[in-house]
Structure 1
Amino acid sequence: MNRLHPLAAVTQGFQRALAGLFLATTAITLLTTLLEFGSTSWMIVAAPVGFVLGGLYGVVYYFRYEYEVTETTFDVSSGVFSRRSREIPYRRIQNVDVRIGVVQRLLGLAVVSIETAGGGQTEAMLNFVSEDEATRLQHDIRRRTARATDSRSSASESDREHARAMDDEPEATGDPDSSDRRGPSDDDQPRSDERTPQTPPGAQPDYAQQDGYTQHADDTQSLFDLEARELLLYSFTSFRPALGAALLFFVFIAIDPVINHLVTVAQPVGGPTDLETGTVGNYGVLTIVSALYGIAITYLVSVAYTFGAYYGFNLSRAGRDFVYERGLLQRYSGSIPSEKIQSVTVTDNPLQRLIDYAGMWIETAGYGPESGSGSQSAVPLAEKDRVYEFTERLTGAETPQFQNPPTLARRRYLARYSIIAGVFVAAVFGVSLVASLEQWYLAAIVFVCVPPAAHLRYVNIQYFVGEDHLVIRRGFWRRRTTVIPYYRVQTISTHRSVFQRRLGLASVVVDTASSSSFSMAAPTIYDLELEDARAVTETSRKRLQRSLRERASEDDLGLTVDFT
């Protein structure tokens, strides 16, 4: 059994010591304030005792944490008072993620996270090991995972050969010449399309061989590098609203200076001189200026975050896996097993479409280390034609010939957005009844945005029912074009709301095993005519069954990485 790096004892001891100090001081504070028991002078004794006990716990935890790479599993043992031992089979491991922060890079340390298919969290985390040990573990586990996959494939091939041999044996009729009277079977004839097993039955090779090309598990072949120009374009055309929530935390810490600054900025354009003497109109200007200011700061932070997160992005292949590296201050590296891929999604926003650029994301079954939801970036940003060609060669999908929903759907969106605009105007009118807002009717200008909004939603809903793949496009602000192999479909269903039933429309919802389906809406073809929706559902179900039969006969493991 191996232990973590010795510096892990120091870092874990210090972290636990701080936790012990916090618990001790919190306990004394609660006793003296809420229960009125004891004295605050106890803090002098409790604080150092909590600090020392927490530090000792962290050091003991370090000595009790062990890991080992065995032939069939990755074993981890941990726990101080309650011992926990885990054996993680290589065939279940989805990703070995290595993360190196700024301080860790200075100390030569790394964090190794092991995720498994179907898991919602990290299965095992080695915090910390040396960079060399992290690289060794990543390559070793990746090689053994590929070996386990090859072994399973060889075993399945052997079972089918054995079953065919049993089917070819004559029945025990007592006639020794019964086999001579059998007519020639199909299995006696040469098969031009019969697949050659990748490895002899029972073998456990260290490579994956596809289409005559041998790719060793330790060898990597570069597929995509994010160039400096593409990195800058990706940074300046991306916006991450979630970072706004993080900025609010800092606003609450320094709320008075922030408010004073916003009042100063808003005053030249009609804002209040101070918060006590302003009018409703002044406060309205202050609100608008504050919102725009927050959006601008969030955008700048988003640009800096995206640049640092995707600096030096590289996508390669190693055996049957995709491997990626990225990050400036904090370096990430990990893998994407091809057999875990559920769908491939091309994404773009209005700015990226304006310059003919797009990105590509891969949805996997289980936990995704990059986003926590099984979604990982394979191509952050590149020229649109290059991305679509990359996607088609990866999935083997034909070039889609998109169809749109009926024009009745556009009229439905027009009515929907008109109702929303009407509610907004009514809300502004309600505010004018309790405040001095004389020109409330100017809010009706939002109706000008209704027709283009309805049209943009309609034209960005498209679908294509191919022979082997279903392609679904939806969204305007973040348009997603998802390519789904039929064999990855879990369920396909027709949904109808009350309003859709009145109009004779329906939506087709396609679910896969991707864990991202739990965090966002599943790929959906919205507002088709009912008959068309039923036809898409029935056709997709038939092709799903056909693809499952073909894969069962060929023992296909999934999308191939040998597509370049």
Structure 2
Amino acid sequence: MKETNRHHPLQIVYDLGVIIKNTFFIIVILFVFQAGSDSPFVKYGRIAFFILLAGTIIYLVFRWYTHKYTLTQTAFVLTEGVFSKKRKTVPYSKVQHVKRKTNLFHRIFRVTSITFETSSQGDDSSVKFDVVTPAEAGRLEKQVYQQTSIDQEIDSVSQDAEEATQQEEEAPADAVVHFSPTKKEVIKASFTSLSFLAIIPLVGSQFNKLDDLLPDDVQGEGVLSFILERWWLITLAVLALIILLMIGGAIWTFLKYGKYEIASDSEKVYITKGILEETAFSITKKNVQAIQIQQSFMKRILGLAEVKLVCAGALGDDNTDEVNSLYPFLPVAKAHQLVEEILPSYKLTDTMQRLPREAFWLRMLTPSWFWLIATAVLYFWKPDLFGLSDYWWAISIILLVLVIMSRILNFKNSRYTIHDTFIQLRTGGFGTSLFLSKRSRVIEVEVSRNIVQKKLGLASLSTVNRANPVLHTNMNDVPQEWAEAFFAWYKGRNQEVELK
């Protein structure tokens, strides 16, 4: 048994900051909005707040004093609890991924955080150190990898904090860098992500403040009405809004995706990103269960795609979709190229089969419950939008057109194929999602047929892959013969997987 360690003393400050952040709304009400109030409710509310804050600080100090961790040769041993002790052991062999995150708090105090995601569920799904020195984070990671042999050997950890900080943000020296976005690609990404729309509420909130700056006759008329009645002001307002959206979106995207880098070695994929809040994440290749290439409607227009790695084990509670994404705004050709470079054991193919014509008529003639319910709501509610309450039926027609267009696009976009030991499925209407997995990684399949599908010789299939949460992939209305061939193909999995 090695030396037992307490967490970093700054853990107390970090936890207190989280609590203050979660109660920020209450603080604003008691001490800002009601700053001059003599109400007994506000007065005693402030007293209760300070009592609870003092009690919380005492509790956090005791929790820091009692929470400890030990690194044995094979596992983390965590001692937790203030009033009742709890001890749990998490073997290194269960560790699937490692994530380091450095936000503004960590930068100020020259520390970092590190999380070891495991294949377990519940309380043992991860071992998280919210505040550690970079040197200690490196020691923890080194201990895990040395004992489990799931990664290459990590260089000896320097005791110099600055050098350790640089190491945590970079992939190993022998890793190959596959992608780092250019400035042009970051700007393009700002439009695709629609992040610039976040500035619209901010602009709208300032309209009332503009009243004080305008003449009295304009104030009575209202800023918005004053602008809408003058075409030249409309033009200037639109141009100003577009410029603000472009600048705001570009800044937001740069702060979030700046310094983005995708690298890999023989064992792992390394993803680093962020300017103000830096995140470094590594994915063990052998834990990749499937690949998803997704395109939203806007991304399809611009020829971009997002590659996601479906992994066994947890990927963290925060921003899981972002963690396992290689990069949300890759050119389609580059996305396919990255898959082949980073995961050479996975093979994509452009040759896929279309759905039969029977599937088209089945989809077009199936009632749309969404449209029927929406039409009923519009009929009884008759929303008064821009004074057009008598034209509720026009909204219903627009929804119906969108439903029909979505079904037509879904039929045209849907593809399926089996090649060697891989299954590849693509679905979606305005946006699409392509699924690729090895037969050995699919843990469950199902083929089903309803009454109508039986008449038309069609079937639906679904696959299940290990992930958190479990990934279910469905493909509807494939030919019955292909579904039977798919089932027979899957039986060959028994020759590829050893049952322990």
Q: Within 5 Å, which residues of 2 pair with 1:245-284?
A: 265=224
Provide structure 2 residue ranges, at least 5 long, that are not aligned to the other structure. 27-39, 155-170, 212-218, 230-242
1:114 touches 1:124 (CA, 8 Å); kept in 2? Answer: yes
Choose the corresponding residue for 2:314, options 333, 352, 367: 367
Residues 1:358 and 1:432: Cα distance change in structure 2 (over 3 Å): closer
1:15 touches 1:58 (CA, 8 Å); kept in 2? Answer: no
Counterparts of 1:314 and 1:223 in 2: how far apart (Å)?
A: 7
Counterparts of 1:423 and 1:14 in 2: how far apart (Å)?
A: 46
User: How far is the alpha carbon of 1:355 from its aligned partner?
Assistant: 3.8
Provide structure 1 residue ranges, at least 5 long, that are not aligned to the other structure. 24-37, 151-204, 208-216, 271-295, 556-564
Counterparts of 1:68 and 1:80 in 2: how far apart (Å)?
A: 18
User: How far is the alpha carbon of 1:492 from its aligned partner?
Assistant: 0.8
Choose the corresponding residue for 1:545, options 488, 494, 499: 494
The answer to whether 1:483 aligns with 2:486 is: no
Residues 1:68 and 1:304: Cα distance change in structure 2 (over 3 Å): farther
**Comparing 359-368 and 38-47, the one that deviates more:** 38-47
User: How far is the alpha carbon of 1:264 from its aligned partner?
Assistant: 5.7
The count of corresponding residues between Structure 1 and Structure 2 is 443
Choose the corresponding residue for 1:124, options 121, 127, 131: 127
Match for residue 68 of structure 2? 66
Choose the corresponding residue for 1:333, options 280, 283, 290: 280
Counterparts of 2:43 and 2:305 in 1: how far apart (Å)?
A: 63
Residues 1:432 and 1:397: Cα distance change in structure 2 (over 3 Å): closer
Match for residue 329 of structure 2? 381
Residues 1:529 and 1:257: Cα distance change in structure 2 (over 3 Å): farther
Counterparts of 1:375 and 1:21 in 2: how far apart (Å)?
A: 27
Counterparts of 1:433 and 1:73 in 2: how far apart (Å)?
A: 61
Choose the corresponding residue for 1:346, options 271, 293, 318: 293
What SS is found at the alignment partner of 1:230?
helix
Residues 1:411 and 1:120: Cα distance change in structure 2 (over 3 Å): farther
User: How far is the alpha carbon of 1:436 from its aligned partner?
Assistant: 7.6
Counterparts of 2:338 and 2:25 in 1: how far apart (Å)?
A: 52
Percent sequence identity is 20
Residues 1:362 and 1:538: Cα distance change in structure 2 (over 3 Å): same
1:509 touches 1:524 (CA, 8 Å); kept in 2? Answer: yes
What does the per-residue CA deviation read over 1:417-445, in whole Å, with 9 as the maximum and x for residues that have no partner?
77765665565455569998444554435
Counterparts of 2:451 and 2:84 in 1: how far apart (Å)?
A: 54
What does the per-residue CA deviation read over 1:371-426, in whole Å, with 9 as the maximum and x for residues that have no partner?
33797012433332232133235133252420011112222332347776566556
What SS is found at the alignment partner of 2:5?
coil
Match for residue 54 of structure 1? 56
Match for residue 145 of structure 2? 142
The answer to whether 1:397 aligns with 2:399 is: no
1:500 touches 1:527 (CA, 8 Å); kept in 2? Answer: yes
What SS is found at the alignment partner of 2:116?
strand
**Comparing 460-469 and 353-362, the one that deviates more:** 353-362
TM-score by length of 1: 0.65
Choose the corresponding residue for 1:463, options 399, 416, 419: 416
**Comparing 98-107 and 444-453, the one that deviates more:** 444-453
Q: Which amino acid aligns with 1:51?
A: L
The answer to whether 1:232 aligns with 2:190 is: no
**Comparing 306-315 and 469-478, the one that deviates more:** 306-315
Match for residue 6 of structure 1? 9
What does the per-residue CA deviation read over 1:224-270, in whole Å, with 9 as the maximum and x for residues that have no partner?
232223333233212589x98x999x99xx89979x99x96489769
Q: Computing the radius of gyration over CA atoms, which structure comes out larger, 1 or 2?
A: 1
Match for residue 83 of structure 1? 85
Residues 1:134 and 1:413: Cα distance change in structure 2 (over 3 Å): same
The answer to whether 1:94 aligns with 2:96 is: yes
What does the per-residue CA deviation read over 1:288-324, in whole Å, with 9 as the maximum and x for residues that have no partner?
xxxxxxxx99999877654433221222235522222
The answer to whether 1:495 aligns with 2:448 is: yes
User: How far is the alpha carbon of 1:344 from its aligned partner?
Assistant: 1.1
Q: Which amino acid aligns with 2:355?
A: P
Counterparts of 1:255 and 1:73 in 2: how far apart (Å)?
A: 56
TM-score by length of 2: 0.73
1:239 touches 1:299 (CA, 8 Å); kept in 2? Answer: no
User: How far is the alpha carbon of 1:453 from its aligned partner?
Assistant: 3.0
**Comparing 39-48 and 6-15, the one that deviates more:** 39-48
Match for residue 237 of structure 2? none
Q: Within 5 Å, which residues of 2 pair with 1:190-209?
A: 206=153
User: How far is the alpha carbon of 1:511 from its aligned partner?
Assistant: 0.6
Match for residue 184 of structure 1? none
Match for residue 475 of structure 2? 525
Q: Within 5 Å, which residues of 2 pair with 1:132-171?
A: 132-145=135-148, 147=149, 149=150
What does the per-residue CA deviation read over 1:42-84, in whole Å, with 9 as the maximum and x for residues that have no partner?
7787555433332122112222222233221122222221222
Q: Which amino acid aligns with 2:446?
A: S
1:120 touches 1:366 (CA, 8 Å); kept in 2? Answer: no
Counterparts of 1:525 and 1:421 in 2: how far apart (Å)?
A: 23
Q: Which amino acid aligns with 2:307?
A: M
Choose the corresponding residue for 1:313, options 246, 253, 260: 260
Match for residue 158 of structure 1? none
2:177 touches 2:262 (CA, 8 Å); kept in 1? Answer: yes
What SS is found at the alignment partner of 1:377?
coil
What does the per-residue CA deviation read over 1:100-123, in whole Å, with 9 as the maximum and x for residues that have no partner?
111321211212222111436752
Counterparts of 1:247 and 1:120 in 2: how far apart (Å)?
A: 40
